[in-house]
Amino acid sequence: MYDFDSPAPRAGSGAIKWDIRGSAFGNADALPFWVADSDYMSPPEVTEALADAAKRCVFGYTSPTQGYKNAVAEWIRARHGWEIDTGWIVPSTGIVSELSNIVRCFTKKGDKVLIQAPVYDPFAGVVKTAGRKLVKNMLIRGDGLRYTMNFEDLDHKLSEGVKLMILCSPHNPVGRVWREEEVMTVARLCQKHGVILVSDEIHWDIVMPGNSHFTAGRAGTPDNLIVLTAPSKTFNIAGLKCSNDIIPGKDLRERLVEWKGKRHMEGPNNLGVIACEAAYTHGAKWCDEQNEYLAGSAALVREAFASHLPQIGVAPLEGTYLMWLDISETGLDSRPLCEKLAKAGAILNDGWRYGDDGFVRLNIACPRAQLEAGLAVIVKVLGEVLGK
Ligand SMILES: Cc1ncc(COP(=O)(O)O)c(C=O)c1O
């Protein structure tokens, strides 16, 4: 069994989540449940591969090897049931910067780009800063806070000149793992309207028991599809700057590679490549155990609210390690509420940034003891606000 209970020594390491608590939230001692990375150690297989690389003392210019690409393809085949050609892999240095490249490469100023809100805030950011027009297809908040897609509205909006759609799958922050029919419908609608579908699947390995991720790669619409993947969330190596675009269509792939080449965009960091190959080669068991650990943590969160504060709704966590909490009964918006929480000792993300001020986001990828300590603060503060 791997160890998820021992905390990683992050404070003072430059970790954004830990080291800007004082400057960003006014409480340098608050427990952090915000930035989407993990507070336990990366898999030993990954750190050993990095240590071996350090011992070799060779750090010159490199590019991802065929062995690396085989490891990426094998992970995708074994985990996600998608047989890819290694020639479809376009290594990149991170998903957000790649999204920005993709938006700029395939659309022009003023073109419409569609996202489904609420959603991870940089989606809107990359569209707006590129001078493209943001179109929103709002998710439907269903019974028990399980979100679904509004396909009628999606069909209509895509028909009105949208050039590119960014799908978040699994979804940050609402926690959905989209079912096969949902992904197929999105892919078919994009194909029907000639829209490029960019599916951000960075969270695709983090799936709770009883759920199964269906990659857009299997939807049968390869010519207008870009799937963005990374080992960064799964194995807690976001700082190593390595991700992979999977682009089956020759035309889209060549256009993007040429676009980036002309702008002198470099490939991923060599140590990131080494970590990614080791993670995809040796990390399956660690990944499964992490999912079980996270499922146990999610159950703890649900129980804490059900028994102490049933007024706080908890969206079912199907995938990701990010829990979406309905705080609308408190009568406070998410930003002032998050300020109160930070002052009292727990830093969460306000829902406002994702497009819903009645929610906050809780990152549970940490040792159980840290989560328990944080929950005690959260339950106390929310209880006071609710007058309990
Ligand atoms: C949906 C989604 N995409 C992208 C990212 C960030 O990816 P990167 O660090 O590779 O830019 C995150 C991080 O939280 C995310 O949740």
pLDDT digits (tens, 9 = 90+) for 293-333: 999 999 999 999 999 999 999 999 999 999 999 999 999 99
pLDDT bucket at 128, cuts 50 / 70 / 90: very high
- Report the atom number in ligand 1 closest to the C-alpha of 322: 16
Q: Is 329 helix (H, G, I), strand (E, B) or coil?
A: helix
- Could you report the per-residue pLDDT of 197-224, keeping only the tens digit for each? 999 999 999 999 999 999 999 999 999 9
Q: Is the CB of 39 under 6 A from ligand 1?
A: no
Are 196 and 163 within 8 A, CB to CB?
Answer: yes
- Quick one: what percent of the chain has pLDDT higher than 70? 100
Mutate to test the pocket of ligand 1, among 35, 95, 123, 167 (most ligand atoms within 8 A of CB): 95
Q: Is 347 helix (H, G, I), strand (E, B) or coil?
A: strand
CA distance 280 to 11: 28
pTM: 0.98
Cα of 164 to ligand 1 centre, how many Å? Answer: 18
317-335: buried (b, 16+ CB within 10 Å) or exposed (e) per residue? bbbbbbbbbbbbebebebe
Q: Which pLDDT score, from 0 to 100, does residue 102 have?
A: 98
CA distance 116 to 62: 37
Region 280-294: what's the mean pLDDT? 98
**Residues in Cβ contact with 182 at an 8 Å cutoff, skipping those fewer than 6 apart:** 148, 149
Average pLDDT of every residue of the chain = 97
pLDDT bucket at 266, cuts 50 / 70 / 90: confident
What's the full length of the chain, in residues?
388
Cis omega before residue 170 (within 30°)?
A: yes
> Does residue 382 register a pLDDT over 80?
yes
CA distance 173 to 81: 25
- E strand or H helix that includes residue 244: strand 243-246
Q: Which pLDDT score, from 0 to 100, does residue 300 have?
A: 98
Mutate to test the pocket of ligand 1, among 93, 97, 120 (most ligand atoms within 8 A of CB): 120
Distances (CA, A) of 71 to 76, 89, 238, 277: 9, 11, 18, 6
> Does residue 192 register a pLDDT over 80?
yes
Region 175-181: what's the mean pLDDT? 98
Cis omega before residue 118 (within 30°)?
A: yes
Q: Is the CB of 234 under 6 A from ligand 1?
A: no
- Report the atom number in ligand 1 closest to the C-alpha of 35: 14
- Report the atom number in ligand 1 closest to the C-alpha of 171: 1
Q: Is the CB of 200 under 6 A from ligand 1?
A: yes
Cα of 125 to ligand 1 centre, how many Å? Answer: 13
CA distance 284 to 252: 31
CA distance 290 to 78: 18
**Torsion angle of the four alpha carbons 103, 97, 126, 170, in this order, in degrees rounded to the nearest 10:** 90
Q: Is 375 helix (H, G, I), strand (E, B) or coil?
A: helix
Residue ranges of domains in the chain, CATH in brackets = 16-42+285-385 (3.90.1150.10), 47-282 (3.40.640.10)
Kind of pairing between the strands at 31-32 and 140-141: unpaired
Cα of 122 to ligand 1 centre, how many Å? Answer: 8
Q: Is the CB of 228 under 6 A from ligand 1?
A: no
The three state secondary structure string of 277-316 is HHHHHHCHHHHHHHHHHHHHHHHHHHHHHHHHCCCCEECC
Q: Is the CB of 16 under 6 A from ligand 1?
A: no
Q: Which pLDDT score, from 0 to 100, does residue 388 have?
A: 73
How many other β-carbons are positioned within 10 Å of the β-carbon of residue 26? Answer: 11
How distant is the alpha carbon of residue 236 from its chain centre? Answer: 12
Q: Which residues pair with 162 in a beta bridge?
A: 112
Q: Is the CB of 95 under 6 A from ligand 1?
A: yes
Cα of 331 to ligand 1 centre, how many Å? Answer: 30
How far is the first Cα of the chain from the last one, in angstroms, to the nearest whole number? Answer: 40
Q: Which pLDDT score, from 0 to 100, does residue 325 have?
A: 98
Q: Is the CB of 168 under 6 A from ligand 1?
A: yes
- Which sign, positive or negative, has the C-alpha torsion 326, 318, 165, 90? positive
Residue linked to tokens 């309905």:
326
Closest residue by Cα to atom 14, ligand 1, is 36
Residue 182: phi and psi, rounded to 5, are -70, -45
Q: Where are the alpha helices (DSSP H) in 170-229?
A: 180-192
Region 62-87: what's the mean pLDDT? 98
